[in-house]
Structure 1
Amino acid sequence: MFTYNSLGLKNIKNNNLFILLIFVIININVVNAKYFVYKNAPSDMINAAKQIGENERLSYQQSLQKAESDDESIK
């Protein structure tokens, strides 16, 4: 006998797959976004969000380069 939850899913395995699917969809949207602002945000807020996004991207690239150079120095 199966019990249905509020989403109409049959069992825990289906629930986990559903949650994973939602998580993947959200992450795809987040990865493709360059910055987050409200739809009708003022230009100051948009510019600040762009700058924050650029700073995050640069710091991520620097950390990757540092990790690569650390790996090379170990060899």
Structure 2
Amino acid sequence: MTKKEFQIALGKRIKQLREEKNISQTALGNMCDIERSNMNRIEAGNTNPSSYLLYLLAEKLGVEASELLNFKPLN
């Protein structure tokens, strides 16, 4: 898996968890003190979030940080 493929898979997983909780990108971004545009880039796989941001995202989504990485590799 390339770095880009990893970022895309991670972004899709974050989006999936966010949508399951009925939380908007704006709301989750606000909870983590980042702008919605940054949340959009993370979910699109266009940026590599820091480990601390992943921790915050997991906390605000009510899951363990390891759950963010619980995705199947892309083809």
Structure 1 and Structure 2 fold alike (TM over 0.5): no
Normalized per residue, which structure has more helix?
A: 1
With a CA cutoff of 8 Å and minimum separation of 6, indicate the structure with the bigger relative contact order: 2
TM-score of the pair, normalised by structure 1: 0.29
